Amino acid sequence: MVKIGNIELPDFPLLLAPMEDVSDPPFRRLCKQHGADLMYSEFISSEGLIRDAMKSRMKLDIFDYERPVGIQIFGGDEEAMEMSAKIVDTVQPDLVDINFGCPVKKVVCKGAGAGVLKDVDLMVRLTKAVIKGTNLPVTVKTRLGWDESSINIDEVAERLQDIGVQALTVHARTRAQMYKGHSDWTHIERVKNNPRITMPIFGNGDIDSPQKALEYKNKFGLDGMMIGRAAIGYPWIFDEIKHYFKTGELLPPPDMEARIQAAQNHLTWSMEWKGERVGIVEMRRHYTNYFKGIHSFKEHRQKLVTNDSPEELMKIFDEIRDAYSDYQMV
């Protein structure tokens, strides 16, 4: 069993990564149904929370059926991080996570996200501020370092644990790599094997199949792994990995009905949470992933991404059912 504060997780838990414009309540609900053990909100700007920015506040929505769930915040100002942690505390997630890994320029330029990797002293001060502002367990997600010549994850892990961080997730790339090139989990393995480290260490980066998940589980000896891009439009990845861990056998891919049902549910829940118009528009980016590799699907996808009527969209899903009633997944 893996513990984060009072949160008890199964042996080698699978975590859903906090992904901007992806890891919202409708998507988290699907991933929970398909085996995710711990999930995180989209990352939330501490300054946005304090300003009462509507989009930031909306990201605080969590629901009991998705627990355990963490709210992730980012920022470069100690006071703002402490105040935002207090705001997060009021909605009572299971934990607060700090993003020290986002490589996007607009975040880094504000001295936040992966930008903090250049200044470990600042990272420690920001983390202390969050810990001061909440009664919840505080965890951190970060990267190996700023670039190949400044990998500092060993120091980061020790210093964060020393001030009370209760779990660490490491994306096995540097900021300079962004999302390109190969992740290098040997650095995370070294952190895990450090006799000083007692908090759970989770790995993230390039887990896109049950086979790779098992290989990395056995090879690097971490406490669990976080899955991000591989789950977009494919929440079944969690069930598939767990089944492979237990049996060594691959589950068959989700059939067409399962894909249609997941996309319909995602759309319905998005409209319920975001409002009809926004739910329909923001769902459009997901259809390609739900129906990736389906032969001759372009015409149906075009209808899904251009229609604004909930009733018509449901009819389009029924058309897809009829058109692919005998379709065999490979």
Contact assessment for residue 267 and residue 313, using Cβ atoms and an 8 Å cutoff: yes
Do 89 and 150 sit in the same domain of this protein?
yes
* 187 appears as a binding residue in the annotation: no
Told to judge if 109 belongs to the known catalytic residues of this protein, a careful annotator would answer: no
User: Residues with Cβ < 8 Å from 314, sequence gap 6 or more?
Assistant: 264
Cα separations in angstroms, 139 against 59, 67, 178, 199, 202:
18, 16, 22, 10, 11
Do 270 and 178 sit in the same domain of this protein?
no
* 180 appears as a binding residue in the annotation: no
Do 95 and 194 sit in the same domain of this protein?
yes
* 264 appears as a binding residue in the annotation: no
Do 86 and 185 sit in the same domain of this protein?
yes
Contact assessment for residue 171 and residue 183, using Cβ atoms and an 8 Å cutoff: yes
* 328 appears as a binding residue in the annotation: no
Sign of the four-CA dihedral 305, 307, 311, 316? negative
Q: Which of 92, 95, 134, 85 is nearest to 8 (CA)?
A: 95
Do 106 and 27 sit in the same domain of this protein?
yes
The residue out of 201, 219, 247 marking a domain boundary is 247
Tens-level pLDDT at each residue, the chain (330 residues): 899 999 999 999 999 999 988 999 999 999 999 999 999 999 998 988 888 766 778 889 999 999 999 999 999 999 999 999 999 999 999 999 999 977 777 777 777 777 888 899 999 999 999 999 999 999 999 999 888 787 999 999 999 999 999 999 999 988 877 778 788 999 999 999 999 999 999 999 999 999 999 999 999 999 999 999 999 999 999 999 999 999 999 999 999 999 999 999 999 999 999 999 999 999 999 999 999 989 899 999 999 999 999 999 999 999 999 999 888 776
Please pick, among 7, 50, 62, 102, the residue that the annotation labels catalytic. 102
* 105 appears as a binding residue in the annotation: no
Domain that holds residue 310: 256-324
Contact assessment for residue 89 and residue 73, using Cβ atoms and an 8 Å cutoff: no
